[in-house]
Structure 1
Amino acid sequence: MSCRISELVLNCADPERLARFWSEVLGYVELDREDGAIEIGPPDAGFGDLQPTIILSPSSNPRVGRLPLHIDVNPVDRDQDAELERLLSLGARPADVGQAGDAQWHVLADPEGNEFCLLRKQLEP
């Protein structure tokens, strides 16, 4: 018997803002709301499906910046440069974590400063 990831929980100051941001980034939709938290996930799935959902949980003291765990994303319908432009237009911003200038990925921060990486390889939608 084994486990698999069913949800990722991100404590944040503004769940509405981050739910909008991450839904746009990932093509997710709102699945549920409870006690100020917003759960988002793939439109054709939900909790317990193969892809984990994300819960944006309100917190008066969220950790931001370099977290012990971060999210990596890959483009699915465009190249990395075009996806970088899209993410920046949604509110992501470049983040410096000491990476070398020749990295094949981009380190970004979401609107609350949580770091994530945009990888190069294009995946199937």
Structure 2
Amino acid sequence: MALVKAGVVVLDCAEPEKLAEFYKELLDAEEIHVTANRVEIRSPDGTQLALRRDVNATPPSWPRPENSLQAHLEFEVTDLDAAERRIVSLGGRPTETKDATGPFEERSYADPAGHSFSLRRSVPHGPKMG
């Protein structure tokens, strides 16, 4: 048995309750633990995410060099356009506008608190050919 096992990704933000609503709606997740300074959610596939209060949090500024990318989340989707409409309707915004087509097409966004995340088109996994 491993001495250390992976925990949960934690995003610092000024208003964890509001940011939890964004991710709960985006991931169809549920709250599993709430304190005065932290909200943890879990999506139906078991992915957990925590939002922690930091009143002095400043969002990453990617792609600008000051306070640049600290970490980002990556989500797989089958329909990038539908997912983008959902993100924007929930208060997120696109950050990468170039068209990156192909089998590994991805798009970058910021959540309402400015944290970076990307959507990547999921590629069907079939048996290896050849």
TM-score bin, normalised by smaller chain: 0.7 to 0.9
Counterpart for residue 75 of structure 2: 73
Kindly provide the amino acid, as one letter, of the partner of residue 121 in structure 1: S
1:101 Cα deviation from its structure 2 partner: 3.6
Mean Cα deviation higher: 55-64 or 105-114: 55-64
Query: What TM-score do the two structures reach when normalised by structure 2?
Result: 0.74
Q: Distance in 1 between matches of 2:93 and 2:79?
A: 18
Query: In the alignment, what sits opposite 1:54?
Result: 49
TM norm structure 1: 0.77
- Letter of the 1:15 counterpart: P
Shift in Å, 1:113 = 0.9
Structure 1: 5+ residue runs without aligned partners? 45-50
Partner residue in 1 for 2:66 = none
| Residues matched between the structures, number | 113
Offset of residue 122 of structure 1: 6.4
Describe the superposition over 1:54-82 as per-residue Cα deviations: whole angstroms up to 9, x where unpaired. Answer: 1111001224123332101122xx51111
Aligned-partner Cα distance in 2 for 1:122–1:9 = 27
**Residue 48 of structure 1 corresponds to which residue in structure 2?**
none
Residue aligning to 1:28: 29
Match of residue 116 from structure 1: 117
Paired-residue identity, %: 33
**Residue in 2 that maps onto 1:102:** 100
Structure 1 partner of 2:13? 12
Higher relative contact order (CA 8 A, sep 6+): 1
The 3-state SS of whatever aligns with 1:74 is: strand
Say yes or no: does 1:89 pair with 2:80. no
Task: Give the secondary-structure state (helix, strand or coil) at the position aligned to 1:33.
Answer: strand
Q: Which runs of 4+ in 1 moved over 3 A?
A: 1-4
Structure showing greater radius of gyration is: 2
Q: Distance in 1 between matches of 2:122 and 2:44?
A: 23
